[in-house]
Amino acid sequence: MFTIGDFARHGRVSVRMLRHYDATGLLRPAHVDPASSYRYYTATQLARLNRIIALKDLGFTLQQVQDIVDEKVSIEELRGMLRLRRAELETAMAAAGARLIQVEARLRAIESEGHMPTNDVVIKSVPAVRVAELTATAASFEPEDIGPVIGPLYDELFRCLGLAGITPTGPGVAYYEDAPEGEGRISVHAGVQVSAPLQDGTFRILDLPSLDQTATIVHRGSMDTVLPTAQALARWIDANDYQSTGYPREINLECPENRDDWVTELQAPVTRA
C-alpha cells in the first residue's frame, strides 16, 4: 500500500485533492489506520483516480463524475454526456479563437496609432442603390456581437433569393443603425444589390438613399480584422476637419471563399466639421 503522499505523487495530484475526494466519497482510501487515522491506497486505485481526473477535466461536476465511475450512468447516457461536452468545448474553442483574432486586431490598431493611413482615403458621393436585405439585432457594435449576426443573415438572404429566383446584380452592402430598443443594441442590415421590384416579405427590397459625402477606405482581409482600417479612417476624418454623421456602410467588393482575400470598401458619411 501507499501512504497518501506516495499515492498523490504517483497519481500526479495533490494530497489536498485526495482528502477532498475522500470527504466526498469519490475516492476512499483502501485502508485507514484506526490508531493514527493515516490513509493508505493501493496501486489498483490509480485507475479510478485517472478516470476521475479525466472526467473532471472534461468539465463534469464531481457528482456527475461519481455517478459515472460508480456506473450509475448507462453507456447511452454517458455517450450523450460526452457528446454534449464535446460540443461545449468546441464552442468554447471557437469563441476563444474569435477573441484572439479581435485581440490581434486591437494590437494592430494600437501599433498604428499616430500614423496616417497608408491606404488612400477618398471623399466621394454615393448614389442610391437598390438592395435586398434581411435585418436582425446585435447586442452592440463590437465585432464579437456583429459577426455572429451578420454571417447567418447573409446565408439566409442568399437562400431566400435563390428560392425567389432573384440574382444579385452587384456587391453586398451591409449597414447599421441604432436599434429602436436602445441600450447600445444595433440593427444589422445584410443586403446585396438587386434589380427587382420593391417588396416587403420574407426579405425586403428597398432603395438605400444616396450619400452626398462619404470618406471611403478599402479594407483587405477578413472583416474580423477590420478594426485597424476603420480606426485609420476615423483618424483621417478627424485630421482633415470632417466629422462622421453615421455608421459606415460596408461594400463587399470581392468575397472569395478565403476570407483573408476579401476586399471591402468602408463608406463613412461625413460633413465638414
Q: Are 263 and 218 in contact (CB under 8 A)?
A: yes
Residue 119 has pLDDT above 60, yes or no: no
Over residues 189-211, mean pLDDT: 95
pLDDT of residue 128: 95
pLDDT band at 135 (very low <50, low <70, confident <90, very high): very high
pLDDT in tens, 140-189: 988 788 889 999 999 999 999 999 999 999 999 999 999 998 888 999 99
Per-residue pLDDT reduced to its tens digit, 53-110 = 888 888 888 888 888 888 877 778 777 888 888 888 888 887 777 777 767 766 666 6
More confident residue, 230 or 133: 133
pLDDT reported for residue 113? 64
Spell out the residues 6+ positions from residue 260 whose beta carbon is closer than 8 angstroms to its own: 221, 222
Task: Please say whether the dihedral angle defined by the alpha carbons of residues 171, 216, 199 and 182, taken in this order, is positive or negative.
Answer: positive
Q: How confident is the model at residue 190 (pLDDT cuts 50, 70, 90)?
A: very high
pLDDT of residue 132 exceeding 80, the answer is yes
> What integer is the mean pLDDT of 191-204?
94
> Which residue would you say has higher pLDDT here, 207 or 183?
207
- 116: pLDDT strictly greater than 60: no
Among the residue ranges 6-15, 96-105, 167-176, 258-267, the one predicted with the least confidence is: 96-105
Query: What pLDDT was estimated at residue 91?
Result: 83
Residue 269: pLDDT band (50, 70, 90) is very high
State the DSSP string of the chain: -EEHHHHHHHHT--HHHHHHHHHHTSS--SEE-TTT--EEE-TTHHHHHHHHHHHHHTT--HHHHHHHHTT-S-HHHHHHHHHHHHHHHHHHHHHHHHHHHHHHHHHHHHHTTTS--SSPPEEEEE--EEEEEEEEEES-SSHHHHHHHHHHHHHHHHHHHHHHT----S-EEEEEEE-TT-TT-EEEEEEEE--S--EESSSEEEEEPPEEEEEEEEEES-GGG-HHHHHHHHHHHHHTTEEE-SPPEEEEEE--SSGGG-EEEEEEEEEE-
Q: 23-69, pLDDT tens digit by residue?
A: 999 999 999 999 999 999 999 999 889 888 888 888 888 888 888 88
